[in-house]
Amino acid sequence: MAQQEPVEEQVLSFYRRKNYYPVKIGEAFNGRFRVIAKLGYGGYSTVWLARDNRTKEYKTLKVTVQTDNVLRASIPPVLNEVNMLKHLKSAAVETKEINHPGVDFIRFAEEILEIDSPVTGGRHYCIVTKPQGNSVRALQDEFPGGILPRLLVKSIVHRLFFGLNWLHAGARVVHTVIQILTTIDILPQNILMDIGDDFTSLREVEEEESQNPSVPITTKDENGTVSGIVYKSRPTRLEFTGIPILTDFGQMRHVIDDGGEDQGEFRDWWMPDLYRAPEILLQLPWSFAVDMWSVGIMILELIEGRNLFDPIDHEHRQYVYPLAMAQYIGYLGPPPPLLMSKSPVLSQYFDGDGKYIGEAPIPKTSLEEFITTIPSEKEKEMFLRFIRRMLTWDPDERATAEEILSDPWLKLTPEEMPGGFGVHGS
């Protein structure tokens, strides 16, 4: 077997060989799901294409790191995802009579298997799901500058709002990490493109693996001891269906209003740095509305090919709180007085007269200046109104997933969106 530098999950800063289950191509989980090829990896799992020996159907297997050796947390993300998948399945059964369309855009687990590590004896989970296509992030890489055609963006997010509406109203959960960017250490793939019943791309992967079998890659530590064996992921053909499937529920929160002090809200520091909702920045209670903020930020990234916020010290790979505050004010204006009075941190940034006193300068910018890819002034105005319904300081003023579904921008026809099939008005 070849010996190379660390690859795939081995490059993650917190990679530990014993945490990952050593999946082998050809093995069958539960004597039923035979592994065909590796599709990807992440901070808490590896993902594999498999075939169900019983039904002969393709399946995706998400094999988690072992649950007693994950990063320390009150509830490890692996266990939280397993719990949330069980809750979602139960909620879907309860709301089945309503026939909510949002259920079609959520990736449910068909089965959840418990497996023991042959290395440590620790517990892993194997989450069996229907196969899906590439992530929206991979789709973005196929377009110049990472800018997706607006009609494709509209198609994706319109359906995504149906899924979010069901998560919030039907399952009473907050996703919290709806994003497409690739972070420093973890490769989130939480918005996938549905492939429906067309398994051509999966058959291609199986044929490629049959004709040119993957060779496990070994790496050795400084003492010459084998430190890991991994397979390289096989790419799959991109799908342009415009039908998103929301997945990855390791950071999801179940909102339970039990009449307690928090009333179904959370108060901890949460969310990815570039997508963090302002109520979390202000250290105020947060709930469902943070997902709508995330989608708004994501839409801008898809439309423009760049992030709205970048409060990061890239040299030291650190989040800079004062810089984040200044950037939020630059695009949103100052926080409303009510939030100022409630936030425990705003006194460091505004004096008693409401004058900004923060150390980081407020950038002279606006959402109007940020949007450069919409040639029609009429459509741009509609789009800005649409985005501003999600990007608000006050979560109580933010549109819900159900409310945003009727927004005029989402109802525009191709004829009303000049250049909507291309980018930069092409």
pLDDT tens digits for 343-387? 999 999 999 889 999 999 999 999 999 999 999 999 999 999 999
What domains sit in the chain, N to C, each tagged with a CATH number?
101-106+132-197+239-416 (1.10.510.10)
Q: Is the dihedral of CA 199, 204, 210, 215 positive or negative?
A: negative
Tokens describing residue 411: 């109802």
Question: Per-residue pLDDT tens for 55-86?
Answer: 999 999 999 999 765 445 457 889 999 999 99
Quick check: 272 and 177 in contact, CB under 8 A? yes
Q: Which two tokens stand for residue 16?
A: 């530990």
Q: Annotate 120-144 with DSSP letters as a single string.
A: T--EEEEEEE-----BHHHHHTTSG
Residue 45 parent element (H or E): strand 45-52
Please report the pLDDT score of residue 425 as a whole number: 41
pLDDT surpasses 70 at 197: yes
Residues 185-210 have a mean pLDDT of 81
Model pTM score:
0.89
Give the DSSP per-residue string, 344-408: SSGGGTB-TTS-B--SSPPP---HHHH--S---HHHHHHHHHHHHTTS-SSGGGSPPHHHHTT-G
Across 251-357, the runs of DSSP E, i.e. the strands, are 253-254, 312-313, 318-319
Q: Which of 48-62, 90-104, 404-418 has the lowest mean pLDDT?
A: 90-104
Percentage of the chain modeled with pLDDT above 70: 89
Q: Give the pLDDT confidence score for residue 291 in this predicted structure.
A: 95
CA-derived radius of gyration, the chain: 23
